[in-house]
Amino acid sequence: MKRFQWAAVWLLLLPGSAMVHAQSLNYENQFARPLGEVLRQIESRFGIRLKYEIDTIGKMLPYADFRIRPYSVEETLTNVLSPFDYKATLSGKTYKLKPYEYPRRTVADGQKMIAYLRTLYHDGASFRKRAEELRPQVRRLLGIDELLQKRVEAKPILSKIRKMEGYSVQNFALQTLPGLYVCGSIYAPSKKGKHPLILCPNGHFADGRYNKEQQIRMATLARMGAVCVDYDLFGWGESILQVGEPAHRTSMAHVMQALNGLSILDYMLSAARKDIDATRTGVHGGSGGGSQVVLLTALDDRFTAAAPVVSLASHFDGGCPCESGMPIQLAGGGTCNPEILAMFAPKPLLVVSDGGDWTASVPTLEFPYLQTIYDYFGAKNQVSNVHLPGERHDFGPNKRQAVYDFFARVFALDKSKLDEAKVTVEPREALFSFGAKGELLPSNALKAEQVAAYFEKGRFRDMLSDIGLQKKAAEWVASLQLSQKDKEAYATTLVYNHLRAVRDWHNAHPYTTIPEGINPATGNALSKLDREMIADSAMPKEVHEKLMNGLRKLLTEAQVEAILDKYTVGKVDFTLRGYQAIVPDLTEKETAEILKNLRQAREIAIDYKSMKQISAIFEIYKTKCEQYFNNNGRNWRQLFKAYVDKRNAEKRKAKEAQNKK
């Protein structure tokens, strides 16, 4: 594109130009209607109830009435929701409206996936070939080897051993990356000798590894003769002290939890532990812990037995980013957790499922598939399924019993010691390594902002950036001191999503995507800042509208302004005070005009990433203010000169007074 053409583009995209916020779509002849209105009509027409987990504010549905199918509510909802990447799922008599979730599909999708996978191999040799293709791709897509190269070899910090009836408990903190620790507890039999090891990655059950059922399970297996190790999820428990709670809801948690599990396994199988029989190494966990079981068995062949509980499905990879944040299911052209777990064949495997969650399909879908793979190796009897059709998603007594029975059989544990009543449930503080408030953190322990040093490149940088944006959004909204938690949560989500969208657009559209040209305002070549602003000003206006419409629906105008001030570090008030100093006799009308311009600048500036860009936008609107003065009987240049002369005179006078002293 020629230079004069880019000058025209610059004029069109200049912040403050009417073109920035002009409507880019004309809905005439598209028979458009607001999405919320269409959904309310569907409820009335079909006599159904909709539960909203989506945002309909400001969304217009083109060809709205033509999407309705009078004979099918399901087809109607699909047609209406799909343009916005939303979906509807039936729960009882209510349709839940949700954003599209790539880890979550339907049982029918799972059936198609399993049927497809069965066409890829027909015997042990062809399956092994498939596994050899999957394993390295899973590692690459997870990004685990990048972190393993940075891992430190350090001795764990161990607490005093607490002796209980038939077992003991010892807390540990293991440094995995320099200054970054994973904390957990080791439950060991009181009896001396070599014992099997069972790693127990944690799930999302309430209170994590500190909850009663978790402690009972660990201690009971220890009483039966196994050394059991459980540890915090990334961004849960003591991990929060270093990375904060939002870290758990990032893709970084997916790879960090794998790194933590492998690091703990290395320590427990090292020469430092004299009580472990490395030939009996198990792994088991429930829910999100079960997802970790699947992944760990694919990453390390030292495990000899595995038991994922209430987690395995061909149509659900785990709804938390700590389970599905990294796209490992893209390995081999497309896979799923049952196939990844099938690579564990022919080693002993137990799958526990129930009728109240996504594992309801296991007896008829995933388990027969696993049996087929195990049968390829003459080991069909090594895979088992305990299905509890009347139970729901938990790690209750029957599920624990299934785990006890499995490990008793494959590791020759002593079932006579199976007595949960003998377990001492400790207060959570007893399981801490670093104290309730982190007062015992080592001097080299890093905090969230410092952890970014490990993830400077690629996706890891953005993962840690997400943590910072979540923290920033939460702090900004918390400053409003809203009394309603749901309102505070929704406002925080709105701000976080906007901050992330601005960052992602900026990162995906660097200044180099804008050719060199001439800035028509100065006649000079476009600077780097000019080109950045051209690139960033092309961000879809829907990003801005979603934030502003959402905030204005939720908050008072004063609260909305308070949030916008956070984006622009209070530039409206700061700049207004500057004008008041330069023009001491500022009238109410002039003040109102200045505030109007500065507030416009502030609202536009929130869509830009850097303070240089924000300042540049305010400069444009400050020029408008100064033009207003000149057009209404003031001489801005004289006013500013008089102010500068006055300030210089005051400085000289102060300096003279100082010299006389």
Who's near 73: CB < 8 A, 6+ residues apart? 42, 46, 48, 95
Q: First and final CA of the chain: distance in angstroms? A: 66
Provide the pLDDT confidence category of residue 508 given band limits of 50, 70 and 90: confident
Please tell me whether residues 283 and 376 are part of one structural domain: yes
pLDDT of residue 22: 32
pLDDT of residue 265: 97
Tell me the mean pLDDT in the region 142-169.
92
Q: Judge contact between 369 and 118, C-beta under 8 A.
A: yes
Provide the mean pLDDT of the chain.
89
Please tell me whether residues 466 and 514 are part of one structural domain: no
Tell me the mean pLDDT in the region 23-44.
75
Please tell me whether residues 285 and 366 are part of one structural domain: yes
Tell me the mean pLDDT in the region 511-539.
87
Please tell me whether residues 468 and 492 are part of one structural domain: no
Give backbone dihedrals phi and psi of 201, rounded to 5 degrees, phi first.
Answer: -60, 145
Please tell me whether residues 145 and 275 are part of one structural domain: yes
> Rounded to whole angstroms, how far apart are CA atoms 540 and 498?
12
- Output the DSSP codes for 605-653: HTT--SHHHHHHHHHHHHHHHHHHHHHTT--HHHHHHHHHHHHHHHHHH
pLDDT of residue 452: 55
Cα 434 from chain centre: 25
Q: Kind and range of the H or E element at 49?
A: strand 49-52
Residue 173: strand, helix, or coil? strand
pLDDT of residue 154: 84
Q: Kind and range of the H or E element at 140?
A: helix 124-142
Residues of the chain with pLDDT > 70, as a percent, come to: 92
Who's near 286: CB < 8 A, 6+ residues apart? 203, 205, 308, 309, 310, 311, 352, 394, 395, 399
Is pLDDT at 37 greater than 80 in this prediction?
Answer: yes
DSSP conformation class of 364? I
Provide the pLDDT confidence category of residue 468 given band limits of 50, 70 and 90: low
Q: Which of 381, 279, 299, 386 is closest to 343 using CA atoms?
A: 299
Tell me the mean pLDDT in the region 96-113.
89
Is pLDDT at 455 greater than 70 in this prediction?
Answer: no
> Does residue 434 lie within any of the structural domains?
no
Please tell me whether residues 493 and 625 are part of one structural domain: yes
- Count of structural domains within the chain: 4
Which among 451, 472, 493 is the end of a domain? 472
> Does residue 177 lie within any of the structural domains?
no
Q: Looking at per-residue confidence, does 4 or 462 come out higher?
A: 462
pLDDT of residue 430: 96
> Does residue 237 lie within any of the structural domains?
no
> Does residue 67 lie within any of the structural domains?
yes
Tokens of 566: 């956070």
- Output the DSSP codes for 16-33: T-TTTTS-----TTTT-E
Please tell me whether residues 621 and 566 are part of one structural domain: yes
Is pLDDT at 600 greater than 50 in this prediction?
Answer: yes
Angle at 597 between CA 591 and CA 600, to 5 degrees: 135
pLDDT of residue 465: 63
pLDDT of residue 382: 98
Give the long-range contacts of residues 245-249, CB within 8 A, separation 24 or more: 246/466, 246/467, 246/470, 246/471, 246/474, 247/448, 247/467, 248/320, 248/321, 248/322, 249/320, 249/321, 249/322, 249/470
Give helix 252-268 / helix 458-478 axis angle, nearest 10°: 110
Start-end of H helices in 28-72: 35-46
> Does residue 385 lie within any of the structural domains?
yes
> Does residue 586 lie within any of the structural domains?
yes
Q: Looking at per-residue confidence, does 660 or 115 come out higher?
A: 115
pLDDT of residue 23: 34
Tell me the mean pLDDT in the region 66-85.
93
Residues of the chain with pLDDT > 90, as a percent, come to: 69
In b/e form, how buried is each residue of 166-200, taking b as 16+ CB within 10 angstroms? Answer: bbebbbbbbbbbebbbbbbbbbbbeeeeebbbbbb
- Tell me which residue has tokens 């996504």: 358
CATH of residue 127's domain is: 3.40.50.1820
Compute how many other C-beta atoms are within 10 angstroms of the C-beta atom of residue 501: 18
> Does residue 405 lie within any of the structural domains?
yes
Max mean pLDDT among 24-33, 160-169, 448-457 falls in 160-169
> Rounded to whole angstroms, how far apart are CA atoms 256 and 209?
17
Provide the pLDDT confidence category of residue 520 given band limits of 50, 70 and 90: confident
pLDDT, tens only, 283-316? 999 999 999 999 999 999 999 999 999 999 999 9
CATH of residue 81's domain is: 3.55.50
Is pLDDT at 21 greater than 60 in this prediction?
Answer: no
Please tell me whether residues 393 and 532 are part of one structural domain: no
> Does residue 175 lie within any of the structural domains?
no
Please tell me whether residues 465 and 593 are part of one structural domain: no
Is pLDDT at 419 greater than 70 in this prediction?
Answer: yes
pLDDT, tens only, 374-415? 999 999 999 999 999 999 999 999 999 999 999 999 999 999
pLDDT, tens only, 633-661? 999 999 999 999 988 988 888 888 777 76
Please tell me whether residues 78 and 120 are part of one structural domain: no
pLDDT of residue 8: 35
pLDDT of residue 229: 98
Max mean pLDDT among 388-392, 484-488, 534-538 falls in 388-392
> Rounded to whole angstroms, how far apart are CA atoms 383 and 367?
8
pLDDT of residue 12: 37
Provide the pLDDT confidence category of residue 27 given band limits of 50, 70 and 90: very low
pLDDT of residue 548: 95
CA distances 537 to 170, 605, 608, Å, are 56, 10, 8
Q: Judge contact between 477 and 495, C-beta under 8 A.
A: yes
Is pLDDT at 10 greater than 60 in this prediction?
Answer: no
Please tell me whether residues 390 and 466 are part of one structural domain: no
pLDDT, tens only, 200-255? 999 999 999 999 999 999 999 999 999 999 999 999 999 999 888 888 888 889 99
Please tell me whether residues 274 and 356 are part of one structural domain: yes
Tokens of 354: 């129930």
Which range of residues forms the domain containing residue 350?
114-157+185-230+256-411
Q: Kind and range of the H or E element at 544?
A: helix 541-554
Q: Which amino acid is located at 330 in the chain?
A: L
> Rounded to whole angstroms, how far apart are CA atoms 302 and 410?
15
pLDDT of residue 4: 31
pLDDT of residue 593: 94
Whether this model's pTM surpasses 0.75: no
**Which residue(s) pair with 94 in the sheet?**
49, 91
Compute how many other C-beta atoms are within 10 angstroms of the C-beta atom of residue 483: 7
Residue 71: strand, helix, or coil? coil
